[in-house]
Structure 1
């Protein structure tokens, strides 16, 4: 009877551990301007502008850090400096680069990637 209880307890532990691991799976979520304002602006978060340095110099959102996605090797090296287990928010000029960057970052182990689908063009159009 005691060994049966041990087996049941170990099975429970394995189920619990695997359910916790599934919660750690990564995701990519598109967000809108309202979400960006509520969750990012003025807060201590990882906000990455993946446009070129020239685009960045013309203006950027809040305290975004610029890492040029078009320079893929540099992007891969620089993005590794960020915490993969904390939410990371990215945006580009018009929304084309963030989809590719999100997938790459997910492959690199980032867990919570938020893609501002409105992009910088949307942001700057209403300022």
Structure 2
């Protein structure tokens, strides 16, 4: 029982530390804030290609989280990067990965694509 409590405590501490670090690395934006800046930034959808094809924010490039490590060189460090995924989890992980590689101007859409009410594009 004691070991279980120690493990549970460690998981909670790890989760809190990760959350706090992520808040320092990436700024979560409301849809309104996201809209105000994404046209002057690199807009990256980190969902998988089939999710992207089903609908994405107009002007977004698809670099799935699963390919980000290999395709990071496609992103410029001197321009803001606006990230989004379906609900905000993958874009947070993508931001952590980019931060570790020296990218600093990172933003992600609070609530992800499922909360987006702006223009979208679908592949026919």
TM over 0.5: yes
Cα RMSD for the two superposed structures? 2.1
Question: Higher Cα Rg: structure 1 or 2?
Answer: 1
Structure 1, unaligned runs of 5 or more: 1-25
Distance change in 2, residues 1:124/1:51 (3 Å): farther
Match of 2:30 in 1: 32
Which structure has the highest helix share of the two? 2
Distance change in 2, residues 1:77/1:126 (3 Å): closer
TM-score (norm 2): 0.70
Structure 2, unaligned runs of 5 or more: 1-23
SS in 2 for 1:89: strand
Deviations 1:24-64 (A, max 9, x none): xx841111100111112xx2420000000010001101210
Match of 1:11 in 2: none
Alignment of 1:67-82 (within 5 A): 67-69=63-65, 71=66, 74-82=67-75
| 2:86 matches 1:93 | yes
Aligned equivalents of 1:57 and 1:112: distance in 2? Answer: 27
SS in 2 for 1:84: coil
TM-score (norm 1): 0.69
